[in-house]
Amino acid sequence: MFSQAILLKSIGGKILGVLDNTKKGFFLGISIIASGLSVFLNEGIL
């Protein structure tokens, strides 16, 4: 029982870590795309 609980905790921690990294990567990608679009629009307007 004890080792199983530790195993579940480590697996849960890995999944949470991956989800956290995915979320960060997702927002980073959105911010990069948004800044790229704003630069593109500014260049187009100028």
- Domain assignments of the chain as residue spans, ordered by start: 1-46
Amino acid found at 16: L
How many angstroms separate the Cα of 37 from the Cα of each of 2, 23, 33? 52, 21, 6
CA angle 8, 14, 22 (to 5 degrees): 145
Segment 33-41 long-range contacts (CB within 8 Å, at least 24 positions apart):
none
Cα–Cα dist 12/46, whole Å:
51
What pLDDT does residue 6 have? Answer: 80
Sign of the Cα torsion 13, 15, 17, 19 reads negative
What pLDDT does residue 26 have? Answer: 92
pLDDT in tens, the chain (46 residues): 678 888 778 888 898 888 888 999 899 999 999 998 888 888 776 5
What pLDDT does residue 45 have? Answer: 65
